[in-house]
Amino acid sequence: MKLLEGKTALITGAARGIGKALALRFAQEGANIAFTDLAIDENGKATEKEIEALGVKVKGYASNAADFAQTKEVVAEVHKDFGSIDILVNNAGITKDGLMMRMTEAQWDAVIAVNLKSAFNFINAVLPIMMRQRGGSIINMASVVGVHGNAGQANYAASKAGLIALAKSIAQEVGSRGIRANAIAPGFIETAMTAALPDDIRAEWVKKIPLRRGGQVGDIADVAVFLASDMSSYVTGQVIQVDGGMNM
């Protein structure tokens, strides 16, 4: 029996990277996949094809997750196309790093809007559907810096801390309706973003990780399957760090 058979998952910002890995892993477990990204370009189309090849229903939707009105429309469309939304992953995210002394209002606003407001937009639109279904699993993609902070990333760390508190609050509000909400806090994950770092900086990072390697997107996807599925039916309001032990 596949862990997510017959469920519909909606994942934001999943044309590439961690979101795409989650979409593929969920599809392997039998879930139908609705995903969003700013545009469904070659990346998005390729993601659709790869998921389709796994024998589930899939559709990519172009939408800006930071836009409240667009999110309402896209969620209604997904609900119409798929009939249910059982799993929501708030994954879309950006960085606009800089030390606080030099951070501009635009850097702050953009990161809070895309990383944190987007999750409000999607949870607000999806909750009524999950309430009617009397069940669902919400996963916010946070970061270890949302737990521990990080110099040069005040905006990003604050947005990720917000995602954690948001998951805990939702968990308390709607637990009685069978809806769970948790956060994943990835550490140093090997993606396009981290591949751009110079070798010596990467080596320094890896030295601080007890498991002595960077994380793979699959490491995050495995934990997401656990949180999305009934395997975690008594787990809510938690933040799971997936960081090779980098922060304890």
Residues annotated as part of the active site: 156
Q: Which of 155, 38, 157, 160 is nearest to 107 (CA)?
A: 155
Residue 153: partners with Cβ closer than 8 Å, 6 or more residues away = 95, 97, 145
52 vs 190, which CB is nearer to ligand NAI? 190
35 vs 82, which CB is nearer to ligand NAI? 35
Q: Is 16 annotated as a binding residue?
A: yes
Provide, rounded to whole angstroms, the least separation between the CB of residue 2 and ligand NAI. 24
Provide, rounded to whole angstroms, the least separation between the CB of residue 105 and ligand NAI. 18
Do residues 238 and 183 make contact, with C-beta atoms less than 8 angstroms apart? yes
- The strand pair at 58-62 and 32-37 is best described as parallel
Rule CB under 6 A: which residues touch ligand NAI? Answer: 12-13, 15-19, 36-38, 64-66, 91-94, 114, 141, 143, 186, 188-189, 191-194
Residue 170 CA to its chain's centroid (Å):
16
Residue 202: partners with Cβ closer than 8 Å, 6 or more residues away = 194, 214
Place of tokens 């990720």: 160
Q: Residue 29 and residue 55: Cα distance in Å, rounded?
A: 11
Q: Is 132 annotated as a binding residue?
A: no
Q: Residue 7 and residue 121: Cα distance in Å, rounded?
A: 22
Known binding-site residues for NADP(+) equal: 13-16, 91, 156-160, 189
